[in-house]
Structure 1
Amino acid sequence: MEIPEIPNLIHYAIPVFVITVIIEAILTVKIKLDEYEFKDAFTSISMGLGNVAIGLLTKGVTLALFIWLYQFRLITIPFTWWAWFILLFAEDFVYYWNHRIAHESRLFWASHIVHHSSQKYNLSTALRQTWTGSFYTFIFWLPLIIIGFHPVMVLVQMSISLLYQYWIHTELITKLPNWFEAIFNTPSHHRVHHATNPQYLDRNHAGIFIIWDKLFGTFEPEVEKPIYGLVKNIETYNPVKVAFMEWYHMLKDVFSSKTSVAKKILYLLKPPGWRHDGTGILSTDLRKKWEQKQKREQ
């Protein structure tokens, strides 16, 4: 099968990103939702540009690996409308689990934390992307290649998913029609995902479709006003620190903890906040405390 040219969707969208970020900043200041934090936005945009630059290398490597693996596919799925329709849901299902595990395993959180490090929530936050994740998170999409989806199809659909998720990073849109909120990921759903309120922690991992969160028990509706950022914020606008700080802390825990090799490895596999001596604070613990508080107040 001849390999068609891959459209560089993210690169084509960059001018749109820039224009919409500027428009949102003007509207935010004008209607006084909150004072727009330009330093924070600059950090997010810097992270996004770095992600695009690194992606020029990693996407080439990923495509080469996908093409090599494609020879071992179970079936050959053609470039047809129904194949793209199936892939829309299949890729989104894979994204859900990739995103969920990024919150449940510190090795993947070390990259994903970048996206959650802003204490603001606007379109520039969508551009705050990892510089390291593309080197290894592609493994979640390998099953799609083995099933028989062409590598080009998978990479294009991955880009479409990222483009969809851009517009949901805003506070200017409150709620959309009920039918849309029931099926699709929306600004309201994704504000919950970025929030540190105990009841919102590690919820709404959806890419395009919120149905996966509802099916697998990770859905939480937006009720109280979200508080954005991390449970413990990093307090820096330095893009290099934002990109690598969690890697530093994670590896420091691995090599400096006085425990067995097996438990050292668990610092990579266990959720963020886990410690071998039980002194860590996990997001699940915070959520349980909130649930217990809710029961006492009922």
Structure 2
Amino acid sequence: MPEFPNIIHFAIPFFVISMLLELYVTTREAYKETKGYELKDAFASIAMGLGNVFLGFFSKAIVLLAFFWIYENYRLFTIPVTWWSFILIFFADDFSYYWFHRVSHESRLFWASHVVHHSSEHYNLSTALRQTWSGGFYSFIFWLWMPLIGFHPGMILLQMSISLLYQFWIHTEAINKLPKWFEVVMNTPSHHRVHHGSNPIYLDRNHAGILIIWDKLFGTFQPELEEEKVTYGLVKNINTFNPIKIAFIEWINMFKDAFSGKKSLKNRILYLLKPPGWTHDGTGKLSDDLRKEWLKSNPIDKNY
């Protein structure tokens, strides 16, 4: 078995230094209008990150077992660990991440864990550390096709870590727009600010990991608009810095909606599968509904 380093653990000093540098930059005059850092919020994000690392010792064991079980027993081909296979796995992993991320916004069962990452009303490098405590135990299903076609499990986990590491630096307001050629292809701070916006026009857009091309291919791309400053957080913010509540409040709300009151079995299941905002009586509003309402009164140039 080839051995690959856990680059996330090695990157922790880089995370700390980067946050200190960002803190210095965003306290300068040009960034005084941004929310920047709030001590309680940053500590809550860091606590969520530490919890994610600790629980990762258990969730990654499950992931490895699942990947190896498929790889050893059912793989269709054997893809060698060589230079060209790392190019293939880069695109395969990024494609998988896009669909995992998109479904995490379109299915409440996955949103219940992913909502953690969107729960901060601030946008800085500490927000990147605000990670789920539960998602690692089941979100890996979007990558199961990769050991099936012959990618080695060690390679898959390495590329997943590279993707996560890339996404750290895009959680900042200290970088405005990068060169146009880079913005066209890659995920950037500008693109990802949109993803964290609770503005109706920004909801459920820009699900990219490293490459923004998937959003453009599948119709979920939205550029950051100069006339529409991003408001970070959720449509309905949870207003807490308690890590336990941040980790599990949406799970509690989801199960309450699904299993309380008089509902058919079908509707109870749909509360788990349908997007956030869905209700069985039709009174809820989905992100697409909010976006359409916003566009009626705020027409924008669609030739972006």
What TM-score bracket applies, with the shorter chain setting the length? Answer: over 0.9
* Alignment partner of 1:293 is 2:293: no
Please list the CA deviations of residues 62-90 of structure 1 after superposition, one character each: whole Å capped at 9, or x if unmatched.
11211111021110000111110011011
Please give the residue correspondences for 1:1-298 in structure 2 after superposition, counting only pairs within 5 Å: 3-31=1-29, 32-33=31-32, 34-35=34-35, 36-71=37-72, 72-223=74-225, 224-295=228-299
Distance 1:177 1:27 in 2: 20
Between the aligned partners of 2:266 and 2:126, the Cα distance in structure 1 is 40
Amino acid at match of 2:192: H
Could you list the per-position Cα deviations for residues 184-207 of structure 1 after superposition, in whole angstroms to 9, with x for gaps in the alignment? 000000000000111111000000
Query: CA distance change for structure 1 residues 188 and 296 in 2, over 3 Å: closer, same or farther?
Result: closer
Could you list the structure 1 runs, at least 4 aligned residues long, displaced by more than 4 angstroms after superposition: none
Scaled by the length of structure 1, what TM-score is found? 0.97
Deviation at 1:294, TM superposition (A): 3.2
Shift of 1:295: 4.7
Deviations 1:195-227 (A, max 9, x none): 011111100000000000000000000012100
For structure 2, which runs of at least 5 residues remain unmatched after alignment?
none
CA distance in 2 between counterparts of 1:231 and 1:107 reads: 18
User: How far apart are 1:26 and its partner, in Å?
Assistant: 2.2
Stretch of structure 1 that moved more, 273-282 or 110-119: 273-282
Q: Contact 1:106 / 1:272 at 8 angstroms: preserved in 2?
A: yes
Distance in 1, Cα, partners of 2:20 & 2:194? 24
In 2 relative to 1, CA 137–296 (structure 1 residues): closer, same or farther, beyond 3 Å? closer
AA of the residue aligned to 1:8? N
Distance apart, 1:257 and its partner CA: 3.3
Other structure's SS at 1:222 match: coil
Contact 1:257/1:264 (8 A) holds in 2: no
Give unmatched runs, 5+ long, in structure 1.
none
Partners in 2 of 1:258 and 1:78 — Cα distance? 55
Write the letter of the residue equivalent to 1:69: I
Whole-angstrom CA distance in 2 between matches of 1:85 and 1:270: 35
**CA distance, structure 1, for counterparts of residue 59 and residue 255 of structure 2:** 23
| TM-score, normalised relative to structure 2 | 0.95
Give CA deviations for 1:13-58 in whole Å, capped at 9, x if unaligned: 1111112112211221233433521111000000000000000111
Q: Distance in 1 between matches of 2:158 and 2:297?
A: 45
RMSD: 1.5
